[in-house]
Amino acid sequence: MQIKERKKMMNTRMKLLAVVLAALSVSPAWAQTDATAMPMTTDDAMPAMDHSGMDHSTMPDMPAVQPEMKHDMSDSMGGMLGMDHGNASAPQQSMDGMSQGGNTMDQGKMNMQGGSAPADARDPHAYSGGYTLESGPYSRPGPRELRLGDEHNFGSLLVDRLERGYTRDSNDTAYDMQAWFGRDYDRLVFKAEGDIAKGKLQEARTELLWGHAIATFWDTQAGMRYDSGVGPDRGWLAFGVQGLAPYWFGVDAAAYVGNNGRTALRLGTEYELLLTQKLVLQPRVEVNWYGKSDAVRGVGAGLSEAQAGLRLRYEFTRQFAPYIGVERTGKFGQTANLARAEGESTGVTRWVAGVRFWF
């Protein structure tokens, strides 16, 4: 009884060994590529082991192998030799066919840029739940009422200088203001500057311009300028820029063209130095240049007039601030000659007190 059990156990072990050897002989064929694949033949397979020649009797605690055991092992090994290992390359050939077929794909179909939307593309209005600016259960008939921030019209008025000036000979009142109405990119601009002395308008410059934003903090301006006061009135076409230069310098530059070949340039700049959060020191410079003399209005060709002032203001609020200061005005070149001929001074110092406000 024990001999039969041992024979059965030996047969099981031999069959398991045969299966392991068969698996090891088949798996390398699957891992080979086209360049190195070498189909296995029956000649390359492991030769059948003739276990009949093995002396199992010499093994300890092992009885001699019976004839029927030889028969079982021969059948198992014969099955191994009967396997067609040449078919092991079939999966590799199939994979190669897939790779070669992939090269024939139209790469143009993989381009996802441009073109029309696919048929199953989501409706862009679906993100809003079906609501649009002109349709939906809450839309109102008539023109579109929703306006974004840059679509609204706004307006502002800045009175930069409204002051009383004191000199040795006389006193006068000066004003310098600017207003605008429109949007961030396009707006209507109004500028006015002048002097009033002895109850009469001595000199005034009024401009009506169209401003257009060209960069951050910079606008181009084009329109008309009108001069009035002492002497005949003059009209000009105006072209200029206004904005904030690096290091926070405010710049207002313009060129003018009038009739009879008259031309003019004006450059103004100012800087605000915050001594405290409410106490502000403001230096200001303005220069005027004319291309042609206009003796009736006391203007000569070339550099005509320059002003340099310093004002100290206290801002009770950002919108309202009284100030005091000093300003020096000088006339040069042919303009100075015309002033001397009229008995006027070519330079004057004004002590000023005024108020600055905006809304």
Residues above pLDDT 90, as percent of the chain: 54
Residue 178 has a CB neighbour count (10 Å cut-off) of 19
Helix axes 67-81, 2-31, angle to 10 degrees: 10
Residue 47 is predicted with a pLDDT of: 45
CB-count burial class (<10 Å; 0-12, 13-18, 19+) for 250: middle
In a domain, 272, yes or no: yes
Q: What angle do CA 49, 51, 55 make, to 5 degrees?
A: 135
Per the structure, the complete domain to which residue 276 belongs is given by 151-358
Residue 96 is predicted with a pLDDT of: 45
Please report which confidence band the pLDDT of residue 150 belongs to, taking 50, 70 and 90 as the band edges. confident
Lowest-confidence segment of 112-116, 119-123, 199-203, 269-273 by average pLDDT: 112-116
Is residue 217 left, alpha or beta, with left meaning phi > 0 and alpha meaning psi from -120 to 50? left
**CB-CB contact of 263 with 238 (8 Å):** no
In a domain, 86, yes or no: no
Here the contacts of 296-299 (C-beta below 8 Å, separation 24 or greater) are 296/231, 296/232, 297/227, 297/230, 297/231, 297/232, 297/234, 298/230, 298/231, 298/335, 298/338, 298/339, 298/342, 299/335, 299/338
Question: Which regions of the chain does DSSP assign to beta strands (E)?
Answer: 154-166, 171-182, 186-197, 200-215, 218-229, 234-245, 249-258, 263-271, 273-274, 279-290, 302-314, 320-331, 347-358
Amino acid at 145: E
Which residue is it, tokens 């230069």?
245
Please report which confidence band the pLDDT of residue 111 belongs to, taking 50, 70 and 90 as the band edges. low
In a domain, 138, yes or no: no
Chain center to CA of 132: 27
228-248 average pLDDT score: 96
Residue 119 is predicted with a pLDDT of: 81
**In the predicted model, is pLDDT for residue 242 greater than 70?**
yes
Give the phi and the psi of residue 239 in degrees, each rounded to 5.
-140, 130
Q: How would you classify the pairing of strands 279-290 and 302-314? A: antiparallel
SS3 state at 145: coil
**CB-CB contact of 132 with 125 (8 Å):** yes
45-53 average pLDDT score: 48
In a domain, 69, yes or no: no
Rounded to two decimals, what is the model's pTM?
0.62
Residue 26 is predicted with a pLDDT of: 55
SS3 state at 321: strand
| Of 69 and 111, the one with more pLDDT | 111
In a domain, 31, yes or no: no
| Of 341 and 39, the one with more pLDDT | 341
Report the candidate in 85, 99, 98, 94 with the shortest Cα–Cα distance to residue 29.
Answer: 85
In a domain, 29, yes or no: no
In a domain, 146, yes or no: no
| Of 47 and 198, the one with more pLDDT | 198
In a domain, 179, yes or no: yes
76-84 average pLDDT score: 44
Report the candidate in 165, 187, 189 with the shortest Cα–Cα distance to residue 177.
Answer: 189
Per-residue pLDDT reduced to its tens digit, 9-36: 777 777 777 777 776 665 554 444 444 4
79-102 average pLDDT score: 44
Residue 131 is predicted with a pLDDT of: 72
Question: Which regions of 167-262 does DSSP assign to beta strands (E)?
Answer: 171-182, 186-197, 200-215, 218-229, 234-245, 249-258
- What is the rounded CA–CA span in Å between residue 183 and residue 352? 35
Into how many domains does the chain fold? 1
**In the predicted model, is pLDDT for residue 233 greater than 60?**
yes
The CATH number covering residue 236 comes to 2.40.160.40
- What is the rounded CA–CA span in Å between residue 217 and residue 311? 24
Q: How would you classify the pairing of strands 234-245 and 263-271? A: unpaired
Residue 141 is predicted with a pLDDT of: 76
Q: How would you classify the pairing of strands 200-215 and 186-197? A: antiparallel
**CB-CB contact of 178 with 191 (8 Å):** yes
**In the predicted model, is pLDDT for residue 235 greater than 90?**
yes
Most confident of 70-74, 109-113, 150-154, 307-311: 307-311
